[in-house]
Amino acid sequence: MAKHVSVSRRIFIFFNYIFLGATAFICILPMINVLAVSLSSSSAAAAGYVKLWPVDFTLDSYKYALSKPEFVRAFIVSLKRVALGYVINILLCILVAYPLSKSKKTFKWRDFYAWFFIITMLFNGGLIPTYMVVRYLGLRDNILALILPGAVPVYFMILLMNFFRELPQEIEEAAYIDGAGYWTSLWKIYIPLSKPALATVTLFIVVGHWNSWFDGLIYMNSMENYPLQSYLQTTVIGVDFNRASLSNLASLAEVSDRTFKAAQVFVGSLPILIVYPFLQPFFIKGLVLGSVKG
Interactions with another protein, residue window 155-194 (CB under 8 A)? 158, 161-162, 181-183, 186
Distance CA 289, CA 196 (A): 11
Min dist CB 285 to another protein, Å, is: 10
Q: How far apart are the first and last CA of the chain?
A: 39
Q: How would DSSP label each residue in 246-289? A: THHHHHHHHS-HHHHHHHHHHHHHHHHHHHHHHHHHHHHHHHHH
CA-closest candidate to residue 88, choices 147, 21, 135: 147
46, 66, 167, 193: residue in contact with another protein (rule CB under 8 A)? 46
Q: How would DSSP label each residue in 40-91? A: S-HHHHHTT--SSS-SS---HHHHHHHH-HHHHHHHHHHHHHHHHHHHHHHH
Stretch 255-274 residues interacting with another protein (CB under 8 A)? 258, 261-262, 264-265, 268-269, 272-273
11, 56, 67, 129: residue in contact with another protein (rule CB under 8 A)? 129
Distance CA 110, CA 104 (A): 6
The span of 53-61, 63-71, 126-134, 244-252 binding another protein (CB under 8 A) equals 126-134
For another protein, give the closer residue by CB, 38 or 246.
Answer: 38
69, 126, 138, 192: residue in contact with another protein (rule CB under 8 A)? 126
Stretch 49-108 residues interacting with another protein (CB under 8 A)? 51, 92, 95-96, 98-99, 102, 106-108
1, 2, 7, 122: residue in contact with another protein (rule CB under 8 A)? 122
Q: What angle do CA 108, 112, 114 make, to 5 degrees?
A: 105
Q: How many residues does the chain have?
A: 294
Min dist CB 29 to another protein, Å, is: 8
CA-closest candidate to residue 264, choices 35, 45, 40: 35
Min dist CB 132 to another protein, Å, is: 6
Min dist CB 28 to another protein, Å, is: 5
Distance CA 23, CA 21 (A): 6
Asked if 18 interacts with another protein (CB under 8 A), we say no
Q: Which secondary-structure segment (H or E) carries 136?
A: helix 127-136
Stretch 139-158 residues interacting with another protein (CB under 8 A)? 148-152, 158
Size of the site for another protein (CB under 8 A): 96
Stretch 190-229 residues interacting with another protein (CB under 8 A)? 207, 210-214, 218, 229
For another protein, give the closer residue by CB, 125 or 247.
Answer: 125
Min dist CB 289 to another protein, Å, is: 10
45, 65, 74, 197: residue in contact with another protein (rule CB under 8 A)? 45
